[in-house]
Amino acid sequence: MPEQVEYWGIPHQWGSPNILVYSVMFLAGAILIFRFFLQARIWWKVGRSEARWNKLHLRIWNVIKYAIVQTRVLRQKYPGIMHVALAWSFFIFFLGTALATINVWFIKFLVGPVFSIYKLTLDVFTIVFIVGAALAIIRRYVSKPDRLTYQPKFTWTLVLLVLIVLGGITTESLRLAVEKPINMLWSPLGWTLAQIWIATGASDTVLINTHLGIWLIHLFSAGITIITLPVGSLLHVLTGPMNIFFAELDRPIGTLPPTPANQEGVPIYVSKLNELTWKQILNGEACTECGRCQDACPAYGAGYPLNPKEMILGISEVLKDAKSSPKGYDVSLLENSKLSTEVLWSCTTCAACITECPVLIEHIDTIVELRRHLVIEGMIDAELQDALTNLGRYGNSFGQSPRKRAQWTEGIDPPVKDATRESVEYLWFVGDYASYNPSLSELTAKTAMVLQKAGVDFGVMFKGENHAGNDVRRVGEEGLFEMLAEKNIKALERCQYQAIITTDPHTYNTLLNEYPFAEPQTILHYSELLLMLIKEGKLKFTNPLNVRATYHDPCYLGRYNGIYDAPRQVIKATGCDLVEMPRSRDLALCCGAGGGRIWMEEGKVNERPSESRIHEAAALDSVDYFVISCPKDYTMYQDAVKTTGHENDLYIKDLIDLVAEAL
Amino acid sequence: MTQDIFVVIEHIQGQVSDISYIMIAAARELAQAQGGNVVGIILGSGAENLKDSLAADQVIYCDHPALAEFSSDACKRTLLSIFTEHDPRAIFFGNTTIGSDICSSIATHGSYPVINSCIRIAEGGAITSQICGGKIMVDSQLADKTTILTMIPGGYKPEQGQGGPPTETINFSPPDLENLKVKLVQFIEPVPGDVDIAQEKILVAIGRGIQTEDNIELAEELAALLGGTVCASRPVIDQGWLPTSRLVGKSGKSVKPDLYLSLGISGATEHLEGILESKTIVAINSDPDAPIFDVAKYGIEVDLFDFIDPLLEQLESAKNG
Amino acid sequence: MTEIVVIARLVPDLVEELEIAPSGTALDLSWLRLIINEFDNHAIEQAVILKEKTGANVTIISPEAEGVEDMLFTTAAKGADRLIKLTGIDEEKPTNESLAQTLAGIIKEINPDLILNGVQAHDDIAGDLAPQIADLLNLPYVGYISGVSIEGGQAKAFKEYPGGILAEMEITLPAVLGIQASEEPPRYVAISKVRQMMSTTTIEEIAGDGLATENNFVIDRMYLPEAAEKAEMLEGNEEEVAQKLTAILQDLGLL
């Protein structure tokens, strides 16, 4: 029966090859562990402590899902298949070597059919590797997409991996050429290559000697790969799964971390390397430089200074520079151009980066924490300063009297209920933009009238409502957020209601995920309410729209809170023919207003994210309606449709517009 | 105490400012109610000829090198000695960068009551003032003793105070003007060779609503089409986007164009003070409650960025025929 | 060390609609929202800038009013060293004359080199505050200042003259200056910093002696202006309005 032969063709006269193999491997392994330990130790030494050991079973599950199965990597076809081919084949090779070792020292099971399947698997995955390597070579040296980093270390990695695999398949094919075992067809690739060696007519001795040489190369290339792992691009093999293992599990992404404090209770406004947590430093080291976050980032796409990939690598850069600097680790992050104030202020907090990252890097947490420092130091632009001052004084960013907050209700009959005076079923938290922006007051009034038609018992808080504070928090003004939340919670406590509804996803996000309510609340986005009303038959559409429409997923509704279907069902219920844009659901491109950007000076821009989105919609086949479900989206896209010259062929419609039209 | 109404004439670099004429017009009405003369006070150096255009009955002129240009310490000392000697019924000061420097401290020193922001004299010599950014009106009476009034433009046209020359000139010997605590070192002239917006017939004014420096191009295009010049309110000048020579308002220039077209200016009182002499004001602002609409002849409630291109188009085709 | 005193006041916020009290001669206080006088905000900023440059000691004095504690703590968060609240004020605003006298007494004790105040407050009907204090203390006063530095026993300041002309002034210290604009725009202070100040800083209270509310002239009435002839609003979409305006300009012979 065919079986695994240990050290076939390796001479034993100078002693057992075990000594060579195990000493090389143990040495390489020891060097790897030692070097990696030295590197990793610095993260814990420099960074602040943070406990991330809870929910072990979930953490292990995440490693399986993201590091082994690599679901995030597979979100894109070409690089997904490419990387999975390379990674899984090496998992299999590693497993193969491990099984062979067990076979030698413990149980001899690589015999007969088991052995044949073992050989087949290894061969198949060698083919898989070759396909992956070919895809990688084409990608890195021919197509050269922008988002990758082009540095020698990536070439070295490819060379070493190819060397290892070639070494493996060559030695196998040489052995097969000599041995010609019974089960040779279970190694199809090896057997095919063996034909070449046979065809050369070389003698067995030549083949065996060649085999020895290549076997040694294979051994040493494996050793070199292991030794150079901490300084090459393969570091992510260790840091990636670590980063995945230690990912944040307790907070949903819609909840920002609180401001940390030192032992005396003094708040820490992060600006220096040693004020980051060790996990934030690990983020920098785990980055595989894949560039998916860069591709997805609306700020980067528009030409703003922010590049999320470079920002994360910047942390690693600062760490590296600090190691050799006399100042040590007590060094400011902001002095690195990848983490400058312009970079930090460019972020819209759309969460596309954290949705794409294969190793679960948490870009936004770091950006917001650094923004907190900028706010404390007053390093904000004049427009943002005005907005924050207005929010502090009047509870709205427009600088208008709180008494005018519900001016949009004038003329609505029956009058909109005051939830601070009478109990209502649904308390409608209207939000700043829907209340004060003149181009939105019509829509807000329409929303009220639709709800009235559907017989919904609702009310608003009139001047008792303040800005919910979601973007205040994202801008880094924690104190102002706390103040606004306190005021809002106090106002809500005086009201009687069953559930809170809002048309604004930002408001939705912070009420749901960040407000410290004393009692659990039901918070609904109006798309959910509309769907409920449709299902209950309270909204009957007598005039189906028969229009081709596309839907733009708001960041804070979709990526942040997973609500993708309710709005789509509402759109379809009104009789629209829904066509998806290429970037839909969690791929949707942010309109550019979030993260406080709508309060900041625009600066130089190549193409606004909102304009890019309009182009994307206009490219769809005869789509007339661009449907949104967020007030800021409404204003951003109304502007964009004009500046791109599409105001006569693409109409911006809110869900309420569709419902009103179809009733 | 006489029944004469004194007016402290403001002048800079040899020019009498408009507020002085406005004060004379107001002083005339007050003098008629009180039964006294309108007396202009000119402090200067070789500046006696400035009295020639004043529609005042008398002029008190004090000459001293330290009074060549306004400086608070020298002028305060001089005026105090004039008032002590002459004891008028009321004294007008401009509510300006010149008058405000001295009127309140003179008021305290001489125990004169002071009424701010007077805009016009009402029936029977009552004083009408405008405060709180123009949102509140106050009617008051002169006190029983010499009262100081500070004047803002808007109630009278400068022409109403022009005329003269006054029939009598009293030369007043300056008091001790040694050891002055305030010294004017030098004027820092605005950009030389720049347009004098006070002489322009057509002005396109920009305010905070223009948002960025780059957008000023739009206003310049509009101004070029109309054959005018761009000027601005404080927020634009503070940002450094235009030189101070283009500032219109209380501490800038007073303008009197045939057309004043404002883009994104809300109409703060400091700015409005500078444009009240315009023949036709057209205001463009997205806020229907903006105070500028209270002084404009025509108003357009629109986002200026939505409106500029259609306007430029229409004007082009109208010009080309 | 240079001593700087800043007098900061709260004034009615013009964002809200103002109402007249039943008496007919004063503002209705129940509808009033108070905010810091923007010029005083600049004066505070200028004082803090001077402190940062020369290491001065900055004292802020403010008459009691709704929200004055928040305002004072904010100045502390910006860098002010000493906070004084003038008490003994009921609902009605004291006259500038009596306020000046009271403040002059307090300031005399402090004996500062420089006194800064916002050049005007829009609700002042009876003169400006700072020049009155200057006279009581026999100090020079210059207003409409937009930039100050201290050299030797003198202040070098830029004063705005009419027509957009700026002048360089030399003023012997001690002196009182009316600030129009600080050298740099007033900085933003994060609310968490202000809240921190609330727990670590105290506001001194000094009782106001002899504060009066009756002016030394008679106010007949206070009223809202008649709805002025508002502008003729041009209606229509952007093209229509552009046409209308062009026609108007042509009629006026301006094209």
Check: complex ipTM more than 0.85: yes
Residue B180 included in any domain: no
The letter for the amino acid at A235 is: L
Rounded (5°) CA angle A396-A400-A401: 100
Residues of chain A found within 8 Å of residue C187, distances taken between Cβ atoms: 378
Domain parsing of chain A, residue ranges: 18-43+74-235, 259-376, 394-534, 539-662
Q: What is the pLDDT, as a whole number, of residue A5? A: 81
Q: Testing the interface with C: which of B10, B22, B103, B108 to mutate, by most C Cβ within 10 A?
A: B108
CB–CB of B201/B93 below 8 Å?
Answer: no
Name the residue of chain C whose CA is nearest to A389's CA: C188
State the smallest CA–CA distance between residue B84 and chain C in angstroms: 16
Q: Can you give the pLDDT at residue A331?
A: 94
List the 110-149 stretch of B: residues with Cβ below 8 A of A.
none
pLDDT at residue C89 is higher than 80: yes
Nearest by CB: A388 against C15, C188, C193: C188
Average per-residue pLDDT for chain B: 92
Model pLDDT, residue B196: 87
For chain A, state the CA radius of gyration: 30
What is the structure's pLDDT at B269? 87
Measured CA to CA, the distance from residue C61 to residue C118 in angstroms comes to: 13
Binned at pLDDT 50, 70 and 90, residue A516 comes out as very high
Q: What is the mean pLDDT of residues A598-626?
A: 93
pLDDT band at residue A6, thresholds of 50, 70 and 90?
confident
Name the burial class of residue A438, with classes exposed (0-12), middle (13-18) and buried (19+) by CB atoms within 10 angstroms of its CB: middle
In a domain, B115, yes or no: yes
Residue B212: φ, ψ to 5°: -135, 160
B297 pLDDT exceeds 80?
Answer: yes
Question: How many CB atoms are located within 10 Å of the residue C217 CB?
Answer: 21
- Residues in B touching A601 (Cβ below 8 Å): 212
| Interchain CB distance below 8 Å, A482 and C194 | no
Average pLDDT rounded to a whole number, residues A90-113 = 91
Which pairs count as long-range contacts for A135-143, CB under 8 Å and 24+ apart, including other chains? A135/A78, A135/A81, A135/A82, A135/A85, A136/A82, A136/A86, A139/A78, A139/A79, A139/A82
In sign, the C-alpha dihedral spanning B193, B197, B203, B209 is positive
Q: Which of A438, A601, A642 sits opposite B212 (nearest CB)?
A: A601
> Would you say C36 and C7 are in contact if contact means Cβ atoms under 8 Å apart?
no
C-beta of residue B110 within 8 angstroms of C-beta of residue B84: yes
Of C181, C246, C254, the CB nearest to B238: C181
Residue A184, pLDDT score:
85
| B208 inside 8 A of chain A by CB | no
Residues B19 and B118 grouped into a single domain:
yes
CATH 3.40.50, applies to A539-662: yes
Candidates A262, A373, A390, A394, partner chain C, best to mutate (most C CBs within 10 A): A394
Q: Which residues are CB-contacts of B67 (< 8 A; sequence separation ≥ 6)?
A: B43, B44, B45, B74, B75, B78, B174, B177
User: A4 — phi, psi (to 5°)?
Assistant: -70, 130
Q: Are A232 and A156 in contact (CB under 8 A)?
A: yes
Q: Rounded CA gap, A364 and A373, in Å?
A: 15
Cβ-defined contact of B295 to C228 (cutoff 8 Å): yes
Indicate whether C228 pLDDT > 80. Answer: no
Q: What is the predicted pLDDT for the residue at B270?
A: 87
Nearest to A438 among B212, B286, B306 (CB): B286
Q: What residues in C contact A388, CB-CB < 8 Å?
A: 188
Q: Residue C183: closest CA among chain B residues belongs to which residue?
A: B238
Q: Do residue B237 and residue B140 come from a single domain?
A: no
The three-state secondary structure class of C122 is coil
Tell me how far apart the alpha carbons of residues A43 and A319 are, in angstroms, rounded to a whole number: 9
Which residues in chain B are closer than 8 Å to C255, comparing Cβ atoms? 226, 315, 318-319
Domain membership of residue B190 (yes or no) is no
Residues of C in contact with B244 (CB under 8 A): 164-166
Average pLDDT of the residues of chain A: 94
A275 pLDDT above the threshold of 90: yes
Chain A residues touching C36 at Cβ < 8 A: none
Which chains are adjacent to chain B, needing at least 3 Cβ pairs under 8 Å?
A: A, C
In words, the CATH class of domain A259-376 is mainly alpha
Q: Is the pTM of this model over 0.95?
A: no
User: Residues of C17-37 as b/e, b for ≥16 C-beta within 10 angstroms?
Assistant: ebebeeeebbbeeeebbbbbb
Q: Tell me whether A601 touches chain B (CB under 8 Å).
A: yes
Of residues A382 and A627, more confidently modeled:
A627
Q: Is the predicted pLDDT of residue C226 greater than 90, yes or no?
A: no
A18-43+74-235: what CATH class?
mainly alpha
How far is B187 from chain C, CA to nearest CA, in Å? 4
State the nearest Cα–Cα gap between A619 and chain B, in angstroms.
25
A380 vs C contacts (CB less than 8 Å) = 188
Chain B (4-33) residues lying within 8 Å, Cβ to Cβ, of chain C: 10, 12-13, 17
Q: What percentage of chain C carries pLDDT values higher than 90?
A: 79
The verdict on A321 touching C (C-beta cutoff 8 Å) is no
Q: Which residues in chain C have their CB less than 8 angstroms from residue B183's CB?
A: 169-171
User: CB of B308 within 8 A of CB of B282?
Assistant: no
- Co-location of B161 and B251 in the same domain: no
A378-417 residues touching C, CB cutoff 8 A: 378, 380, 382, 385, 388-389, 392-394, 399-401, 403
**Contact across the interface for B108 and C132, Cβ inside 8 Å:** yes
Q: Which residues of B touch A438 (CB under 8 A)?
A: 286
Assess whether pLDDT exceeds 70 at residue B192.
Answer: no
pLDDT for position B286: 85
Tokens representing A562 are 């997973």
pLDDT band for position C47 (50/70/90)?
very high
Nearest to A457 by CA among A465, A469, A448, A467: A448
Range A238-250 average pLDDT: 95
**Would you say A435 and A406 are in contact if contact means Cβ atoms under 8 Å apart?**
yes
Chains that touch C (3 or more CB pairs under 8 A): A, B
Chain A / chain B CB contacts < 8 angstroms: 4
Quick check: do A394-534 and A539-662 share a fold? Answer: yes
C188-221 pLDDT, tens digit each:
999 999 999 999 999 999 999 888 988 899 999 9
B70 lies within 8 A of chain C by CB: yes
**pLDDT recorded at residue B193:** 65
The total number of structural domains that make up chain B? 2
Query: Could you tell me if B224 and B147 lie in one domain?
Result: no
Inter-chain residue contact C163 with B307, CB threshold 8 Å: no
Q: Report the pLDDT value the prediction gives residue B245, as an integer from 0 to 100.
A: 85
Q: N- to C-terminal Cα distance for chain B?
A: 67
- DSSP-derived secondary structure for B28-95: HHHHHHHT--EEEEEEESS-GGGGGGB--SEEEEEE-GGGSS--HHHHHHHHHHHHHHH--SEEEEES
Q: Are residues B151 and B236 in the same domain?
A: no
Rounded Cα distance, A537 and A83, in Å: 50
Checking if the pLDDT of C40 tops 70, the result is yes
What CATH number does residue B143 fall under? 3.40.50.620
Question: pLDDT digit string (tens) for B128-139?
Answer: 999 998 889 999
Tell me what the mean pLDDT of segment C227-250 comes to: 88
Residue B141 belongs to some domain of the structure: yes
pLDDT of A297 reads 97
Contact check, Cβ <8 Å, A479/C194: yes
Domain boundary residue among B172, B207, B225? B172
A441 Cα distance to chain centroid: 35
User: Are the Cβ atoms of A479 and C35 closer than 8 angstroms?
Assistant: no
Name all domains of chain C by residue range, CATH numbers in brackets. Answer: 3-207 (3.40.50.620)
Contact B48, B81 (CB under 8 A): no
- pLDDT score for C209: 82
Question: What does the block give as tokens for B238?
Answer: 């503070």
| Domain span holding position B32 | 5-172
Phi-psi region of C144 (alpha: psi -120 to 50; beta: other; left: phi over 0): left
The token duo for B285 is 């602002």
Min Cα distance B150 → chain C (Å) is 8
What does DSSP assign to residue A231? G
CATH number for domain A394-534, candidates 1.10.3470, 1.10.10, 1.10.150, 3.40.50: 3.40.50
Residues 260-299 of A with CB under 8 A from C: 267
A403–B contact, CB cutoff 8 A = no
* C-alpha distance from C136 to closest chain A C-alpha (Å): 36
Mean predicted confidence (pLDDT) in B20-41:
94
Does residue A449 carry a pLDDT above 90? yes
Same structural domain, B127 and B88: yes
pLDDT greater than 90 at residue A281: yes
Please report, for the domain that includes residue B237, its CATH number: 3.40.50.1220
B316, β-bridge pairs: none
Which of B212, B302, B308 is most worth mutating to test chain A (most A CB atoms within 10 A of its CB)? B212
Instruction: Classify C237 as helix, strand or coil.
Output: coil
Chain-chain contact of A479 with C15 (C-beta, under 8 angstroms) = no
The chain B residue lying nearest A398, using CA atoms, is B287
Q: What are phi and psi of B81, to 5 degrees?
A: -70, -35
- Provide the pLDDT for residue A327: 85
How much is the average pLDDT of A483-512? 97
Closest to A659 in 3D by CA, of A565, A554, A538: A538
Q: Say whether residue B301 is in contact with chain C using an 8 A CB cutoff.
A: yes
The mean pLDDT of B5-17, rounded to a whole number, is 94
Same structural domain for residues B121 and B231? no
Beta strands (DSSP E) in chain C are 3-7, 10-12, 34-36, 57-63, 82-87, 114-118, 141-151, 154-161, 165-172, 175-179, 204-207, 219-223, 232-233
Beta bridge partners of A426: A458, A499
